[in-house]
Structure 1
């Protein structure tokens, strides 16, 4: 493990004292919603500690998802995990974490940070030696006195193998009054043209809700907009992305790790 990586990570998360948020159950509910659309045995949970770079807890299905030893994961902490990340993606992954932290500290009010969930992706080497694309959702559970996340609930989804690597993407979503996620930050770290780069944050939220099987009226209710506005967005999304229909749009969105 490159010591510079550890040093850079520590600078992003230099924190210690904590206070508790009260939106954890809402975030867990949204993760359960996501789980319905993931293949069986493709997801596991961890409790992460950014100050000690450790895993306070790793769910038992970690081994069935990755083939790796759960005891090594717990004993060696994040170093064990980082050593299995694809070398080509380490610096971009750190850049995405830094951007998410900078955005949070400068743009998200202290009292709203407990409503935010973060998503990013990378490749990880599993037990058979292959690199598998992985999507990580992390929800802060405790914060330091400056409002930096310290303890997080991390939900990992091992994605199907694809012919080429997905670009690194970073997203921050905030729960609204209906406990529905709305995108507040998105950035891709690649020159590859993706659906997410062609649409607005609102359209991104609509795609996610369409993918979860919500009707036009249900989407309108969740996002506090009219059904006509939802339909207008849906037409614009198909036009922007050159997708022939909603099924093609949803398939591409899942394949690109956008959901």
Structure 2
């Protein structure tokens, strides 16, 4: 299983360039300084290097969030992290990564890739041998000569696994108003989600709504009219059979949609 995972991952992120050097070290040092100011929480971040499947930096919250040894994560890289993942989800997780990479290389112009961010989820066994849901958000930092992202800043949210979330993959782009808009979304697995039929635009409206934005503020961020925002909200309420906004946002958070 491990060999197949390594081979499949290497195929997805294949590159002729192994990225190391002073430029990367300067970025890591800035993140290390910032890390000292971040309070303890159930989230942590890593600088991921797909060219050699390593973690260039792992933040201090890794150990309290997941109760694993940070030295194992740094010294053994992604192979250590993969060894803790739920084996039944490996193939689906790899497919989600491949789909995100294929979408990026085929549909996103080279100059726009620096404004992309990606989200996917899976389960990892913590230090207490209990599986936790992991929501991973990764933003590219450096690219190889073909424009393939090879260094990323990854932010991990650790959630209790009271229910098994289907693996979902999302790609968003930062627009002119500094707001992320969904370009790609795919859910994997047989479980039918109530929010499965929500469109990309409706997904963006929901995310901004969960942050407390008004209809007018959402309209401004997404370059649409407030009337259109109201229409999107009404359509989502109908699709999900929710009675109010609070119920709607709670459902979307629980199902990993925003």
Which residue of 2 is the match for residue 172 of structure 1?
A: 171
Query: Could you list the per-position Cα deviations for residues 89-139 of structure 1 after superposition, in whole angstroms to 9, with x for gaps in the alignment?
Result: 000000000000000010111111111000000000001111001100000
Following TM superposition, by how much is the alpha carbon of 1:193 offset from its aligned partner in structure 2, in angstroms? 1.8
Aligned counterparts of 1:171 and 1:236: Cα–Cα separation in 2: 21
Which residue of 2 is the match for residue 236 of structure 1?
A: 235
Query: Could you list the per-position Cα deviations for residues 220-252 of structure 1 after superposition, in whole angstroms to 9, with x for gaps in the alignment?
Result: 000001111101110110001111111111111
1:63–1:70 CA contact under 8 A, matched in 2: yes
- Between 188-197 and 71-80, the greater mean CA deviation after superposition: 188-197
Which residue of 1 is the match for residue 120 of structure 2?
A: 120
SS for the counterpart of 2:88 is helix
Query: Quick check: 1:144 aligned with 2:147?
Result: no
1:17–1:143 CA contact under 8 A, matched in 2: no
Aligned counterparts of 1:157 and 1:196: Cα–Cα separation in 2: 21
Aligned counterparts of 1:145 and 1:257: Cα–Cα separation in 2: 34
SS for the counterpart of 2:165 is coil
Where does structure 1 differ by over 6 angstroms across 4 or more consecutive aligned residues? Answer: none
Aligned counterparts of 2:246 and 2:253: Cα–Cα separation in 1: 11
Give the alignment of 1:244-259 within 5 angstroms: 244-259=243-258
Query: Could you list the per-position Cα deviations for residues 198-240 of structure 1 after superposition, in whole angstroms to 9, with x for gaps in the alignment?
Result: 1110000000000111111110000001111101110110001
1:198–1:241 CA contact under 8 A, matched in 2: no
SS for the counterpart of 2:160 is coil
Which residue of 2 is the match for residue 31 of structure 1?
A: none
Which residue of 1 is the match for residue 60 of structure 2?
A: 60
Following TM superposition, by how much is the alpha carbon of 1:159 offset from its aligned partner in structure 2, in angstroms? 1.5
Give the alignment of 1:11-160 within 5 angstroms: 11-15=11-15, 16=17, 41-160=41-160
**TM (normalized to structure 1)?**
0.90
2:18–2:52 CA contact under 8 A, matched in 1: no
Following TM superposition, by how much is the alpha carbon of 1:2 offset from its aligned partner in structure 2, in angstroms? 1.7
TM-align CA RMSD: 1.7
Which residue of 2 is the match for residue 36 of structure 1?
A: none
Matched pairs, number: 241
In structure 1, the gaps of 5 or more residues are 29-39
In structure 2, the gaps of 5 or more residues are 32-39
Aligned counterparts of 2:194 and 2:61: Cα–Cα separation in 1: 32
Query: Could you list the per-position Cα deviations for residues 71-95 of structure 1 after superposition, in whole angstroms to 9, with x for gaps in the alignment?
Result: 1100000000000000110000000
Following TM superposition, by how much is the alpha carbon of 1:195 offset from its aligned partner in structure 2, in angstroms? 4.0
Aligned counterparts of 2:161 and 2:99: Cα–Cα separation in 1: 27
Following TM superposition, by how much is the alpha carbon of 1:196 offset from its aligned partner in structure 2, in angstroms? 3.9
Query: Quick check: 1:205 aligned with 2:237?
Result: no
- Pair 195,182 (structure 1): closer, same or farther in 2 beyond 3 Å: farther
Query: Quick check: 1:182 aligned with 2:181?
Result: yes
Aligned counterparts of 2:120 and 2:89: Cα–Cα separation in 1: 12
Aligned counterparts of 2:95 and 2:151: Cα–Cα separation in 1: 20
1:116–1:173 CA contact under 8 A, matched in 2: yes
2:195–2:239 CA contact under 8 A, matched in 1: no
- Pair 235,187 (structure 1): closer, same or farther in 2 beyond 3 Å: same
SS for the counterpart of 1:5 is helix
